[in-house]
Structure 1
Amino acid sequence: MRRIIIALTGASGIIYGIRALQLLREVADVETHVVLSPSALRTAQDEVDMGPDEIKGLADVLYSFRDIGAAISSGSFRTAGMLVAPCSIKTLSGIANCYNEDLIVRAADVCLKERRRVVLMLRETPLHAGHIALMDQANRNGAIIMPPVPAFYTRPKTLDDIVVQSVGRALDLFDLELPMVKRWKETPGVGDDDKA
């Protein structure tokens, strides 16, 4: 059983974290360890038609945001790494500066020190110099900065097509193969030179 930590923060785009959890429920050998910030649940009120209990119910294991003594706060608890989807600037700042005030930042810091994959689906635009400096520092610490930028070569028909493709590409970084992810040149007619 592979364990992956999924954190949802208060940035716009909570659907990315929700869809990641929904998609991972279909992968038999993956166990999700989930942390939701209070701001994530607040954002969910505005962005999705799901209540807090329904969102929490997607987790295999759910942790309290403030429980810095949770299993995922220790490097001896083995995981495949951590996806923060969406990642707020506040969370990015904590990760970049190793400011382990809450379980999301602590778990990310642990993954980084153990040289495990940390993927940050950063949701902010436009960016000022401070944001860019934080991204640079988090990257230097070992995190992968992956804003959920749509891939239009997949010819998405719905918003969910865009979300699933973005989440699928993020989960690719953990060597998790999801059949619904469309790949360049693997889909007939997509990306053909004569279509450019």
Structure 2
Amino acid sequence: MSRKKKIVIGITGASGTIYAIDLLKKLHAHPEVETHVVVSNWAKQNLKLEANLSLEDLYAFCDYHYPINDLGAAIASGSFLVDAMVITPASMKTVAAIAMGYSDNLIARAADVALKEQRKMILVPRESPLSTIHLENLTKLSRMGVQVIPPIPAFYNHPETIQDLVNHQSMKIMDALGIANDTGGRWKGAEA
């Protein structure tokens, strides 16, 4: 019997909690995936503001969840084997903390562990416009092997709803995680 694919999901206070919610729902539907989730304090506020969702409702889609300040959690150690980490949405504060190695909370610490252990890490930055500082931090992390997948909508698949746009983003993240899916309307080639 093979072990489940363990994925750490960090949800920060940037706008766009809909991306995290959708990704968690889709990963929850894959029995071979185990999620370990950390929600920042501002992300808890955004769950209410943007999605009218309680923390308990969100946790229904998680296998494990940890308090933001629990630096003794399993995911804070490199000896706890995980396959990948996704931070969605990723605030610029969190991006800066990771880029500088400032592990003042569990999301930043788990990201620090992913970097030092050279594990897959995906950032879904949610900010616009991006300042030079933001771009430099993202570039620094990209050079360290972090995959940056901003939520930029595609229109070749003719989205009709916000959910169509969100599905496409979840598809891109799941593709990067190596999880089979077809939720976002893939490009099939130009028709003549």
Category of TM-score, reference length = shorter chain: over 0.9
Give me the whole-angstrom Cα distance separating, in 1, the residues matched to 2:190 and 2:134.
Answer: 37
Give me the whole-angstrom Cα distance separating, in 2, the residues matched to 1:144 and 1:94.
Answer: 16
Give me the whole-angstrom Cα distance separating, in 2, the residues matched to 1:8 and 1:88.
Answer: 9
Q: How does 1:1-196 map to 2 (within 5 A)?
A: 1-185=4-188, 191-194=189-192
Kindly provide the CA deviation profile for residues 161-190 of structure 1, in whole angstroms up to 9, marking residues without a partner as x.
1101111101211101113232221xxxxx
Give me the whole-angstrom Cα distance separating, in 2, the residues matched to 1:58 and 1:39.
Answer: 19
Which deviates more, 175-184 or 160-169? 175-184
**How many residue pairs end up in the alignment?**
189
Q: For 1:160, what is the secondary structure of its paired residue? A: helix
Give me the whole-angstrom Cα distance separating, in 2, the residues matched to 1:155 and 1:135.
Answer: 30
Does structure 1 conserve the Cα–Cα contact (< 8 Å) formed by 2:164 and 2:184? no
TM-score (norm 2): 0.94
Deviation, structure 1 residue 49: 2.1
Give me the whole-angstrom Cα distance separating, in 2, the residues matched to 1:129 and 1:193.
Answer: 39
Does structure 2 conserve the Cα–Cα contact (< 8 Å) formed by 1:95 and 1:109? yes
Give me the whole-angstrom Cα distance separating, in 1, the residues matched to 2:144 and 2:183.
Answer: 31
Give me the whole-angstrom Cα distance separating, in 2, the residues matched to 1:94 and 1:140.
Answer: 16
**Percent same amino acid at aligned positions?**
39
Q: Where does structure 1 lack aligned partners over 5 or more consecutive residues?
A: 186-190
RMSD across aligned positions (CA): 1.1
Aligned equivalent of 1:188 = none
Give me the whole-angstrom Cα distance separating, in 1, the residues matched to 2:184 and 2:129.
Answer: 28
Deviation, structure 1 residue 193: 4.2
Kindly provide the CA deviation profile for residues 133-154 of structure 1, in whole angstroms up to 9, marking residues without a partner as x.
1111121232111111011111
Does structure 2 conserve the Cα–Cα contact (< 8 Å) formed by 1:99 and 1:105? yes
Give me the whole-angstrom Cα distance separating, in 1, the residues matched to 2:145 and 2:182.
Answer: 28
Does structure 2 conserve the Cα–Cα contact (< 8 Å) formed by 1:146 and 1:170? yes
